Every structure is written in C-alpha cells, then in structure tokens.
Amino acid sequence: MEILLYICSCFHLVSREGYPQTMVSLKAMLGSLISFFSAAFVILGNEFIPPALRSLFCIVVHYFFTPQFTVIIEENAGLGWNQIYAAATTYLRTKISYSSKSKRIKVRKTNRQEKLSIDIVVGEVVIDHFENIELKWKLNEEKQEKKNSKEKPRVYFTLAFDKRYEKDVLETYLPYVITRFEEIRKEEKEKMRRIKIYTRDYGRVGPAGGDWACINLEHPATFENLAMDPGQKRSLIDDLDRFVKRKELYKKVGKIWKRGYLLYGPPGTGKSSLIAAIANYLKFNIYDLNLSGGRYSDSELKKTLLSTSNRSILVIEDIDRGADLVDREQKNNSDAIKFTLSGLLNVIDGLWSSCEEERIIVFTTNHKEKLDPALLRPGRMDVHVHLSYCTIDGFKVLASNYLNIKGDHQLYREIEGLLKNVEVTPAEIAEELLKRDDLDVSLSLRGLVEFLEEKKKKKKT
C-alpha cells in the first residue's frame, strides 16, 4: 500500500491528506512522469544505461521540460497606456530580422519615411537573447465573445523564459527594453523632426522689437542636387561631420562648440540653397537675422542670441550691407541705434557666444573685400566657401536635376567650352532649362547653347 501511495504521489494522484484525486491536469501528469523517469535514471542509470544515452536524456529533459515562466503584458494599464507594451512594440521591430521563428512580418511605409517600418504579426514568435537568457515574445489577440460587439479585441504580449531567470527579467531585462525604446524613439524623432526657419516678427512686442516667428522649412535643397564643385562639396560635408562629433574635444581644449562659415560670391551662385542644404543635412533649425535698417543695438544683439536654441544655424545674410559698423575707437552714442563691430564680434566670438552650443553661424556676402578683416579670422569665420559662376561639374548636376540626364551628352563639350569663357550663374542656367516644356533633351540643351553664345557676344562688345 505504501508503494502504491508513493507512485500515486509521484503522479499527483493523491491529495495532501492521502486521498486519491480523480481530476489531474495533463501538464501535471507529464511533469510527474518526467520526475518519475528522472528518478529511475538516477537509481538505475549508473549500472544499466550507457553514458551517451544518459547525457542525451538530460539534454532532452532540460530543453523540453525546464519550468517556463510567462509574463503577460497588456496594451493598457487601467485607464492609461502600458509603457512596457509600447516599449516592446518598438523594441521588437529591431529584433524581427534576427528571429529564426517568425514566418510572417507586417511592413508599411509613408511618403516621408526613408525606410520600411517592420512590425510583429499576431501569433508570431520573436526570439531575443539577453545575458544568455532566451526570451520568447508572442503577440496575442483575443476577440470579444459577444456578437456585434464594438469593443476592440484584447491585444497583449506574452513573454516566456526559464523560471530561474524571473528576477533577472523583471528587474533588468524589461527596464532595458524600456531604455532601448526611449533611445529608438529619440532617434526616430530626430529623423522625422521638421526643420523650421525663424525670423523676427516686428509686429509683436519682444526683444529687439519682435519675437521669433517660424514656419516649416520646405526648401528641397540637398547636397545631392546642389550645383556645386564636387571637391568643394565633399570638403564641406566632411567639415560638418567633424564638427558635430567633436563636443568633447571642444570642451577639452577650451573652445566654444560652434563653427563659423562665410559664403561669398556673385548673386545667384547658390548661397541660400547651400544654407538650406546644410540645415537639411544636419536637421538644424535656421534663425535668419536681418541686421539692416538700424533695428539692433549691441544690447539687442545679445538678447537676440539668448533667444535662439542649441543645434541651430544663425544666418546673417549680406553682412556687407548691414547696419553701419562703428569702429571700437570711433564708438559714440550711435550704439543706442545701431550695433557696432565690437558688439557683433562679441555675439559671434566673445563671452556671449558661449550661451548656446552646437551652433553654426553663417555669413553671406557678394563682396568679401568689403568686410573688416576682424570678421574674417578663424574663430569667427572658420571656413570660407567661394561660390562662383557655373562650371561644367555644376552644370551636369543641373542637367541631371532638370533634364534627367544621367550620363554624357554630345553637346556637353560645346557647353563646357562656352562656360570657360562666359560668366553665368547656376540660377541663370536653371532658368534657361525651365523655359522649355517639351521633353526633347537635345532641344533644351541647344537652347542653352544659344543663350551662352549670346552672352559671349555681349562680353566681347
């Protein structure tokens, strides 16, 4: 009788009081059966079972019958949203491509997205590994039992893992998932962030006579479609990349984390387009500051600087045509009406310039020779970018943009010869390419050749 009760106890067929139970779950039966055979292997294994078979049995038992623990993560937490559910949804997108279990995925893309967005599908399993712990995620959906019910199906994640790691998962892994979610969301926000261009609204009360008003920057200029010398373009991109990566270096050497650029050249050579391309490349907002008209004094320039933000481009166009710059030695009461050279230098390179960081300051001018040498030195205008008349390389970019010419054309050599003898801006060439509505590329290029020949004749006369 005692042996029978022992066998029954192994299979959970008796209650704690010693009475047989009639209702037994299949899971309990299987678990008890494995326990029984495991005990038999321990008792008989050393003498009757070969070592290789014993090892195989242990592997199978560990793989199939290790106690599993399951965490249920629902979409909502009471009346609010469940942060862990939202975090898991975003986090698992980065793991789907590495899963050996997923047979289906959900893919979508909007017009503004650069890459496909991948999501887990209901019923699919996604495998993740964290510090040697295997974790199985599964998205579940339960429809409402009531007919004609308008309630949404219950959606939740199940997270299964070895019960031995319950504490590690709850206290370390899930907080890690939330942290990664916040990092991914920040990265996506930076990518999707709309770039804005700010200007002074002089119809409103505020520092320097008005507050900043802004609109979204919709300028399509990029470095890819910019009609600019390829070597000059590559050099500028490299300089921008170095700048944004050197926060610690600037701090180490005691320099303010900012960079000054001077864009100079004839009108129509692409200075404004280059500023837009820089903003689109770095995802920096633009603050457009108009210094003409005597609106600013030195103190108002400082207030203006303080009202801008980090990761921005401060643009001062046509600096040579701004308000009269009074020399330090000749400074008088006029600084109450107009800013001085020393006031401007303090804004871009003095103590006040340290109020914000990761800032780019861009000056533009059509006449570099008119600028005071004090403005041109490194630390104020670190990089001088000369945007000149159109060259054959710049023209090929325009031809690709406007006429969709990807390779060479028989008229290119004739156009190249004319460009060497004619001063024509990229803006003028773009206007000529826009004049014709037909799709005949050769006809459009022939019209440009005639335009350049006419300019050549006028130059000789």
The pLDDT score that the predictor gives to residue 116 is: 75
pLDDT in tens, 379-396: 788 999 999 999 999 999
Cβ-based neighbour number of residue 35 at 10 Å:
15
CA 121 from chain centre, in angstroms, equals 26
pLDDT in tens, 32-43: 555 555 555 555
- Confidence grade of residue 309 (pLDDT, cut at 50, 70, 90): confident
Contact between 157 and 186 under an 8 Å Cβ cutoff? The reply is no
Residues 387 and 269 sit within 8 Å (Cβ to Cβ): yes
Which has the closest alpha carbon to 120: 128, 132, 111? 128
More confident residue, 78 or 324: 78
What is the DSSP track for 144-181?
-SSTT--SPPEEEEEEEEEGGGHHHIIIIIHHHHHHHH
Q: How far apart are CA 190 and CA 284, in angstroms?
A: 10
Tell me the domains of the chain and their CATH numbers: 2-65 (no CATH), 68-192 (no CATH), 196-386 (3.40.50.300), 392-460 (no CATH)
Q: How does DSSP classify residue 393?
A: H
pLDDT band at 47 (very low <50, low <70, confident <90, very high): low
Do 383 and 259 form a contact (C-beta atoms < 8 A)? yes
Q: State which amino acid sits at residue 383.
A: V
Confidence of residue 336 (pLDDT cuts 50, 70, 90): very low
Average the pLDDT over each of 250-259, 293-302, 312-321, 389-398 and give the range with the smallest value: 293-302
The pLDDT of residue 21: 46
pLDDT at residue 330, rounded to an integer: 47
pTM of the model: 0.57
Burial of 236 (0-12, 13-18, 19+ CB in 10 A): buried
